[in-house]
Amino acid sequence: MKYRAKPKFVLNTDFLEAFNPVQKNKKATNNELFFNSGRNGLTFLLKFLKVKSVGLQSFNCIAVLDAIKKADCNPIYFDVKLSDFSISIEELYKNKKDPDVLILTHYQGIPNLDYLEIVEYCKSKKIILIEDIAQSHGSNINGLIVGSQGDYSICSFALDKPFTCFEGGSLRMKQKNDALLEQYSKLSSENNKKAKIDIKKVKFYHFFYTEKNYSKNLENKKELWEFLLHYFTIHSVFRIMKSKLLSAILYRLIKVFKYKSASEEILRLSKFKINLVRLQRGRFDFNKNNAFKIIQDFNITLHKDLLRKDLNIYWNRLSVLDKSGELSKKFRQNKVDCGNYNWPQPLHTINNVNKQFQQTNKFVNSELASNYILNIPCW
């Protein structure tokens, strides 16, 4: 089966090259700061900004809400458009109170279609604009590359993102901020032993989440192989995972001990993991994307607004609404793993709407997207 997501730019040689000391680890390159997760990078920024309210779309990753809450900010939710699955300028106009910060998400590589209008709105209202480009790289609209116009942008390097180091993220500043850099320099660095294990996990994923080797057991017991890689080689772990009985017994054991991978402490990312990300970025190729062949082969109809001539999408995963379920059925018959695996529940249903800030508690499109979005792998 073709798995739902896979890093597109990792090479076998990267797993040695990442430890090459020639790869320089600067504290800030092009005003970019690296963290042990995208969530921690966002938390760090919001705490530094000392803001009270943060606007974000309800159809969103729970990690974004977690970062907002950890920074002691109030979330203000916005509904999305069904064309780009991102906030509309109209949503901003009708809200009764502007947020101090707006997080603008570019979903699965699609630039927000109101990008320039939202940028100008935020400037006029003195709203700090943070672009979430965790799923987007290289896409542009009207000549503007996503992440280039906000005051800040946030990236994630999780396994399902354009570039990966298993766990990590970064924060980019449009303008250099010495106070922010100073505060960042005081953070401790991620443990190198942890970083080496994370790179080993990427290697396992790269080698075995293939059409030849992938099985549901790998994904259903993902916590198990993550744990085992602390102690065994990738090939030994794969052999264990192939045994349903042995893996089931071991999986129950680690559940008892409540194994957790991600660190909640805000840390600077290890230089080895930064190297791995930079190696992948260096070979980014806008033309290396299978989405358009998939659109043609499966006769997929994109939203008409995505056919604009000034729009260039580098799809992380091809994403369309599939209300009937027929498209999903067709892909599964062709052994392609697809669905909504990331954002199955709108955030306004998890965290109550704050009536002090919200004009409405109706999020029709966000609920529709959560129920019917289909993310199709295009690696």
**Pair (94, 148) in one structural domain:** yes
DSSP code of residue 188? P
Round to whole Å and give the CA distance between 173 and 150.
Answer: 8
Q: What value does the mean pLDDT take over residues 69-83?
A: 95
DSSP code of residue 108? G
Q: What value does the mean pLDDT take over residues 250-267?
A: 80
Write down the pLDDT at residue 4.
84
**Pair (44, 164) in one structural domain:** yes
Angle made by CA atoms 8, 14, 18, in degrees to the nearest 5: 125
**DSSP of 64-88:** HHHHHHHTT-EEEEE-B-TTTSSB-
Does residue 28 carry a pLDDT above 60?
Answer: no
**Pair (47, 93) in one structural domain:** yes
Q: What mean pLDDT, rounded, does the chain reach?
A: 91
pTM: 0.94
**Pair (50, 196) in one structural domain:** no
Distance from CA of residue 193 to its chain's centroid? 24
Write down the pLDDT at residue 216.
84
Per-residue model confidence as pLDDT tens digits over 189-204: 999 999 999 999 999 9
Residue 19 within any structural domain of the chain: yes
**Pair (95, 49) in one structural domain:** yes
**Are the beta carbons of 107 and 86 closer than 8 angstroms?**
yes
Residues 6+ apart with CB under 8 A from 27: 33, 181, 184, 185
Write down the pLDDT at residue 113.
98
Write down the pLDDT at residue 25.
46
Residue 126 sits in a domain of what CATH number? Answer: 3.40.640.10
**Pair (365, 250) in one structural domain:** no
Report the domain count for the chain.
2
Residue 298 within any structural domain of the chain: no
Does residue 103 carry a pLDDT above 80?
Answer: yes
Residue 57 within any structural domain of the chain: yes
Per-residue model confidence as pLDDT tens digits over 340-362: 877 889 999 987 666 666 656 68
**Pair (22, 161) in one structural domain:** yes
Does residue 326 carry a pLDDT above 90?
Answer: yes
**Are the beta carbons of 166 and 246 closer than 8 angstroms?**
no
Residue 355 within any structural domain of the chain: yes
Residue 158 within any structural domain of the chain: yes
Does residue 27 carry a pLDDT above 50?
Answer: no
**Residue 46, token pair as written in the block:** 């919001």
**Residue 363, token pair as written in the block:** 């999020």
Residue 263 within any structural domain of the chain: no
**Pair (123, 199) in one structural domain:** no
Range of the domain at 249: 192-257
Does residue 51 carry a pLDDT above 60?
Answer: yes
Write down the pLDDT at residue 263.
65
**Distances from the Cα of 4 to the Cα of 135, 324, 335, 341, 378, angstroms:** 14, 20, 11, 9, 8
SS3 316: coil
Q: What value does the mean pLDDT take over residues 38-43?
A: 98
**How would you classify the pairing of strands 317-321 and 169-173?**
unpaired
Round to whole Å and give the CA distance between 375 and 222.
Answer: 20
**Pair (249, 363) in one structural domain:** no
Residue 245 within any structural domain of the chain: yes
**Are the beta carbons of 102 and 129 closer than 8 angstroms?**
yes
**Pair (213, 104) in one structural domain:** no
Residue 77 within any structural domain of the chain: yes
**Pair (63, 210) in one structural domain:** no
Per-residue model confidence as pLDDT tens digits over 289-301: 888 889 999 999 9
**Pair (159, 232) in one structural domain:** no
